[in-house]
Each structure stands twice: as structure tokens, then as C-alpha cells.
């Protein structure tokens, strides 16, 4: 399954139920470019279990603001729409797997 690109209009609906792993990123961010391919791998590995998604903070600054996301890449893990974990900065695949493991995934 490919990584889902969220927007302001579908964000709430997409993360409302189940687990969602959202990578807040932007084109101008160097470390985000390193994270990109790993996020895509995760979307394959976690297909059907977790919604692996990306949100472009340049296009949708309202959502970055809502979650006080002032540094990217930041990944926020949601369960039924509620934040249950956060990884600020690129910590490699291991960092993302840790975040998912802590949530029992």
C-alpha cells in the first residue's frame, strides 16, 4: 500500500478510527528527504494494520499548528484520532519502529 497524502479536508476523517502514523514534512527539509523512503517502506510493512500517511506542512500549516509541530520531520502516532506518541526529528527506521512497538504494533 502506498503512503497516503493527507490534506486539511480529509485529515480528521482519515485518522478518526484505528491507528494512524503521520509524517509531518516539507519539500525544503533535508532530513525529511532521508525519512521519505523509510516512511514508504513502513507503508508496505504495516499495510492493513496502520495508516501510514504524510502531511505537507507547507500546504497545510493549520494542522502543523494544531499539533504544535514546530520542527520537521515529526511523526505523530494517533489512535482513534488521539495522539499517543511522537518522534521529533529523523531517528532512522529504528526510531519509527520503536514508536510503533511502544504502541504494541
Size of the site for other proteins (CB under 8 A): 24
Question: Residue 61 in contact with residue 29, Cβ under 8 Å?
Answer: no
Q: Is 69 a catalytic residue?
A: no
Query: Judging by DSSP bridges, how do beta strands 74-79 and 51-56 pair with one another?
Result: unpaired
Q: Identify the bridge partners of residue 77 per DSSP, sorted by sequence position.
A: 21, 85
Residue closer to other proteins, measured from CB, 16 or 33: 33
For residue 32, the minimal CB distance to other proteins (Å) is 8
* Catalytic residue selected from 15, 20, 29, 42: 29
d(CA 89, CA 38): 14
Residue of the chain from 51, 53, 57, 99 that contacts other proteins (CB under 8 A): 57
Residue 92 falls in which region: left (phi positive, over 0), alpha (psi -120 to 50) or beta? left
For residue 64, the minimal CB distance to other proteins (Å) is 7
Query: Residues with catalytic annotation?
Result: 29, 32
Q: What residue ranges bind other proteins (CB under 8 A)?
A: 26, 28-31, 33-34, 57-58, 64, 68-72, 74, 86, 88-94
Amino acid at each position: 500500500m502506498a503512503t497516503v497524502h493527507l490534506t486539511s479536508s480529509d485529515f480528521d476523517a482519515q485518522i478518526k478510527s484505528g491507528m494512524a502514523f503521520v509524517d509531518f514534512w516539507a519539500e525544503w527539509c533535508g532530513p525529511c528527504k532521508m525519512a521519505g523512503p523509510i516512511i514508504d517502506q513502513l507503508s508496505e510493512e504495516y499495510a492493513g494494520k496502520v495508516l501510514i500517511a504524510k502531511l505537507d506542512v507547507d500546504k497545510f500549516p493549520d494542522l502543523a499548528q494544531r499539533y504544535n509541530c514546530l520542527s520537521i520531520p515529526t511523526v505523530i502516532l494517533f489512535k482513534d484520532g488521539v495522539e499517543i506518541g511522537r518522534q521529533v526529528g529523523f531517528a532512522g527506521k529504528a526510531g519509527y519502529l520503536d514508536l510503533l512497538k511502544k504502541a504494541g504494533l
